Structure 1
Amino acid sequence: MLDIARELHDWMAEGREFAVATVVSVGGSAPRGPGAALAVDSGGTAIGSVSGGCVEGAVYELCAQALQDGRAVRERFGYSDEDAFAVGLTCGGVIDVMVTPVRSGSPERKVLGAALSAAAGGAPASLVRVARGPDGLLGRALLVRPDGTYEGGLGGRAELDRTAAAEARALLDTGRTGTIALSEDGSHCPGGLTLLVETSVEPPRMIVFGAVDFAAALVRAGKFLGHHVTVCDARPVFATEARFPEADEIVVDWPHRYLRRTRTDGRTVLCVLTHDPRFDVPLLREALRMPAAFVGAMGSRRTHEDRWRRLREAGLSEGELDRLRSPIGLDLGARTPEETALSIAAEIVAARRGGTGLPLTGGADPIHRDLSGAAA
């Protein structure tokens, strides 16, 4: 439910009652992963999605019923061989959905409100909920913060809350959403409880080096993908808010010097658009030796070959050079800045999700890869 935290936080502030359906687990070719949510308020307004359209109507009805009777429920939706148009996923997948009512005075409203407030404000937090267990425990919630403190409870022993908080904190450290199995006494014995852990983390960073025309389009694409976007260039006449109004941050500094002092992690995307060896070589020498999900550089194939040679002479190993995606972007035949930004964004998504970049037409591989344990 944290994927629609901003909207639900507003609903909470307005005092609305609602029910929220959350994907707990998926199997086969399911379009959305664990944590995807759909919510329905008492007036019938719906937000979010759990399946991209396949079972939304049935889940809507479950939410309406849960809001009426105040009981959390869990339901499985899957493909029906007898009737492809029956309620289910015609794409062949299976999803388990938990529906939780959030009514005025409900015991979980306070902790869910705190979790939604944290997620809506960009603060890191984990929301733990009982997704399978004895009657009365389904939907019970625990909010876990990065320092290990927590509030709420899962309805069992104190040791269960402590163990769940420790497991949730580990998932929060990696920005992952997934399930864990614990017994009611907090031990790791299977068959007792299944807990859904949703994480809310800061947006991944995209750092665009080079305040060129293509950069403005890439900034917009990066924001569309949910990144916190920084533009860095050593030339103050080009690195301006007027040229990049949608960037979260604009830095005037030598790119390699800025990269050396800023924060990066395993989700950071680095896009080098300068295609000038004075900037590229010292910058990429730093970039290819630090944590980053994606390091790409713009330029012709001739520029790439010259850059590769310079980087090898600068002491980079073959393994480090293999991390470089250059020329950056997928082959879309792009010409304009917007088309080029699209090709770069497509490669970033493919790298993150394990896609091939090939057309789906005529392919045999699953369209939706395994999403279990995927990053938030």
Structure 2
Amino acid sequence: MVTPSTDDIISVLETPIDINFDLPDPEDEGIEETDFQEQLDAIWKVCDRFDLQTDIWRGRILRAIRDREKKGGDGRGTGFLNWLKQREITKSQAYALIQLANSADTLLEEGQLDPTTINNFSKRAFVETAKASPDVQRLVSEAAQNGDRITRREVKQLSDEWTAMSSDLLPEVLKEKATEGTLPARHLAPLVKELEKLPDSHIETIQKEITNNPDVDTIKAMTSEAKSLSKYLDAAAQVQTLKRASLDIEMALDEALRLECLNTAADLVKQATQLEQTVAKLYTTWKRLGSLSDRLYVDTGASNPHLRSMLTCLETLTSEVIEVELDEGGKKLVRLRVMTEGE
């Protein structure tokens, strides 16, 4: 990954590239299906490596153009956008390539990646690896050096394994089973992420349960419960109505757990949050509508009967009592009275 000189670049550009793979004949019944698939997979990987190297350099080129424009352009990125337009590259495609180049350079600069193993990565794996923690980057780099093909799946698998084995929230019995391979790490990582969001009292309860029953079904059930607990606590913390009351949210949560209605309680506080936010948005919109209506009334007169008629029709929305028909037949009508304090 050493930056090539100008002469090297010119030499490469002047050298004709002729990619001509000998693809197996799909109609040849003499080729076994496994052999057919293996030949195509091998050719695909060659294309992948060529594509990865090319896109990393494209990203570096685009980054250089963008940074140059930031320093000496018009401040709006016009030169950079024109450059993309001339080459029929969208802005999102450009920044995806720049992100790929940034990921590659980050891994190389931090010493987490051997340049000779770059061809073992897919493009997305590069980006995911750059986002991962240094420990996960080290594991991925070691796998690449061993000749493993690194895709997003491999990065996620190694990340899950590290999350599970390095967490203090999982009992040792689970870590032992993960090491033995009898309990896949992909089931443990989601549990760790959900436990990190909970208070200690609820973590201890879940830890006891998974220690007594260290199996996949229990792990899945406890992950779901931890997720519901987290949603409940997050939603309850956002409900202004609950904040104004002398209510012990934790005790309410314990009672919901005891009655096995946690999901219902979590959905209740979530809907309460959404209702409060909807009311706030409704009030803001109602005020804006009234202001616009008043302005239009001042700007019009009796010589504009149609505009005046429109304003009259909208009085059911701009007045203190809002009326809205929920169906076209008008059989179901909702009335809301807006009463404000502190204004």
Give TM-score, length-normalised by structure 1: 0.23
Q: Which has the higher contact order (CA 8 A, sep 6+)?
A: 1
Q: Which has the larger radius of gyration?
A: 2
Give TM-score, length-normalised by structure 2: 0.25
